[in-house]
Copies of this chain bind each other. A is one copy, B any other.
Amino acid sequence: MATTKTVYRSKIGLPPGTLVHIGKKKTDKVVISVFDYDPENLFEKKDIAPEECASLKDKATVTWINVDGLHDVEKIGKLGKAYNIHALLLEDILNTRHRPKVEFYDEHTFFTFKMIGFDKHKTQITREQVSIILGNNNVISFQERPGDIFDVIRDRIRNKKGKVREKGAGYLVYLLVDIVVDHYFIITEHISERLEELEADILDRPDEGTLGVLQDFKKDLISLRRAIYPIREAISNLSKEADEDTAKYFRDLYDHAIQVSESLETYKDMVSGLKDLYLSSISHQMNKVMQVLTIMATIFIPLTFIAGIYGMNFEVMPELKWKYGYFGVWVLMAIIFIGMLFFFKRKKWF
């Protein structure tokens, strides 16, 4: 937190358009890799220099430039210059805390959103910003760290699987976004499973930590919602601007995005349902505790009182001299005991 804050504060006062990387450095070196293809030919190079990319700009082939890592501001600046990218747009790419949006510039369509995944041990949800710039025949994608999520697309391009080699840059953007949205579904399924486990736990035996877990859960959902909700509008805008053929695909994607949002909404309802369930379990439990205490106390208090009476040391206490006095006291106590049991039975306390 401290790091981010410092960075953000240091940014205040800089002229707009000044390139500053806001976020954590998640990889060692910023690596640019490139795919350049048409239905027949394919050129692929990893770790290319930004200057070399420039030469691919005006070719009729589709060019996909992928940038892994955002901290090398100079390198990205060069790439931006080569592809004529607006300074504000580069600033947004470097600010990893930006909310998802699509923006239409004269030469470019800019699309930024969040990739949601798990950390290594699958215990925490991770967010990573992905930005895509769609120009004429070229696509530039930016990721915070090298990831294997786009490998399936690279594979399809290399092996001519599906229609990617035949279609244009817009279809490639669709594929990139589609992969990310598909991963949203995996997250929602993971959440759904954890919710069911939690419900079972609460019904079985609620403990002190449950509410903390639910609170964390809710924070995760809020954070996911902030990452995922705006993408709906962005995809909808993309579909309106795309050519008719690609638009169909984006509309399909839009349906998926809505479905993910609805799932999140449902989970939020379920989390608050679980909270109620937990609180009610606690209060039910307290009720049971109270009943046990009340039954015990109420039965034995009068009995102990009677014992106390005949423990008094008055000189004149005729009962103490009766032959069956002691026996009579036991009978009296038994009557009280049984009467109390009947009373609680009638009250349905056990």
List residues of chain A with CB under 8 Å of any chain B CB. Answer: 1, 4-5, 8-9, 11-13, 15-18, 86, 88, 91-92, 97-99, 101, 103, 152, 156, 161-164, 174-175, 178-179, 182-183, 185-186, 189, 192-193, 196, 199, 203, 205, 208, 211-212, 215, 218-219, 222-223, 226, 248-249, 251-252, 255, 258-259, 262, 266, 269-270, 273-294, 296-298, 300-305, 307-317, 319-326, 329, 347-349
Contact = CB atoms under 8 A, between A and B. Distances in A.
A199 B290 CA distance: 26
A206 to B, nearest CB: 9
Number of copies: 5
Contacts of A252: 16, 88, 91-92
Nearest to A192: B1
A51 to B, nearest CB: 26
Nearest to A244: B106
A311 to B, nearest CB: 4
A296 B297 contact: yes
Nearest to A205: B348
A9 B304 contact: no
Nearest to A274: B215
A33 to B, nearest CB: 19
A183 to B, nearest CB: 7
Contact of A212 (B16, B277, B287): B277
A154 to B, nearest CB: 11
9 contacts: A4-B189, A91-B252, A99-B259, A211-B280, A293-B294, A300-B302, A300-B304, A314-B326, A315-B325
A125 B196 CA distance: 18
Query: Nearest 4 CB-CB pairs, A to B?
Result: A15-B162, A307-B308, A13-B152, A310-B312
A347 B179 CA distance: 50
Contact of A326 (B11, B12, B278, B312): B312
